[in-house]
Structure 1
Amino acid sequence: MLLSDRLIQLGIQLPPPINPLGSYKTVSISGNQLYVSGLAAFENGKPIVGMVGQDLALDEAHHAARLTMLMILSCIDQAGALNRLERCSRLTVYVRADPSFTQHPRIADGASDLMLTLFGPEKLPARSAVGVHTLPMGIPVEIDSIFELKSA
């Protein structure tokens, strides 16, 4: 089944893709690897902002990670490669959190759980969840990712 059909089957709608905010490509393909620049969550056309543990609760940040993963898929779709995805190989999830916050992996699950739903447990990506002091535009979550493309 095509990934676009799987998303429809699950009732998942992709947000409009974001354009690069600087001198880079959002999606870059090299061989059978697809690289996605660090992206953020958008809701109603605006970035979600705030610091986890101060402005956002864990469940809100988890939701932001899921929305970020949807933005990643949207940008991949814009690049014409959505239905060529074999799996997500790697996720790096950056979490802007209060220094006392320690549950970064639970936030990253917002992105990983979507990959689990779409690709199954045998194709879960390797992942890092990293706490950071600041992120662009005051966003709480930024994710960069690597995907494997199906052989032509």
Structure 2
Amino acid sequence: MTGQIEARLAELGITVPEAVAPVANYVPAVTTGSLVFMSGQIPLAGGKPAFTGLLGGGLSLEDGQAAARLCGVNLIAQVKAVCDGDLDRVRRVIRLGVFVAATPDFTDHPKVANGVSDLMGAVFGDIGRHARAAVGCSSLPLGVPVEVEGLFEIAP
């Protein structure tokens, strides 16, 4: 039987990929008690960056939001792996940290972060509402414009 979250993903037309293995010396997630601390996810699709560049330097706000949304899909893939495939074990999206690679004059970091925040709300409903930080930086791994880390609460 398909769970509620899987059914919601299907309604939204979202396919969650397999969780991506780390590319350096870290683990994708650390669970302690009911909390899952997720390593930063970048906008990978098919194992390659779907977006590269800087916000305000060739990439539009809409590009940034789409990149943030894809980071969110990859976060969902990671938490799904932690939950042994059962996304209904997610009890709360607690916090998201959104890093935005941008030119010095770009100031719409919160609007970029809405790409992932809106996704979490659409997929998880009220339990997808979360605390958040959105910060600018000069560069991110593989030249991507957005990276998102997360903190989730899960049921045993």
What's the TM-score, normalizing by structure 2? 0.89
| Number of residue-to-residue matches in the alignment | 151
1:119 maps to 2:121: no
Match of 2:69 in 1: 66
Q: For 1:76, which of 72, 76, 79 is the aligned residue?
A: 79
Q: Percentage identity across aligned positions?
A: 37
Match of 1:30 in 2: 32
Match of 2:17 in 1: 15
Looking at structure 1, the residues matched to 124 and 81 of structure 2 have their Cα atoms a distance apart, in angstroms, of 20
Looking at structure 2, the residues matched to 10 and 87 of structure 1 have their Cα atoms a distance apart, in angstroms, of 20
1:9 positional shift: 2.9
Deviating more after overlay: 90-99 vs 8-17:
8-17
Aligned in 2, Cα 1:123/1:13: closer, same or farther, shift over 3 Å? closer
Which of structure 1's runs of 4+ aligned residues deviate more than 3 A? none
1:90 maps to 2:95: yes
What amino acid is the match of 2:5? L
Looking at structure 1, the residues matched to 30 and 87 of structure 2 have their Cα atoms a distance apart, in angstroms, of 13
What amino acid is the match of 1:26? P
Question: CA-atom RMSD, angstroms?
Answer: 1.6
Looking at structure 2, the residues matched to 111 and 7 of structure 1 have their Cα atoms a distance apart, in angstroms, of 14
Unaligned ranges ≥5, structure 1 = none
1:55 positional shift: 2.4
Unaligned ranges ≥5, structure 2 = none
- Can you list the C-alpha shifts for 1:99-130, whole angstroms capped at 9, x where unaligned? 00000000000000011112224641000000
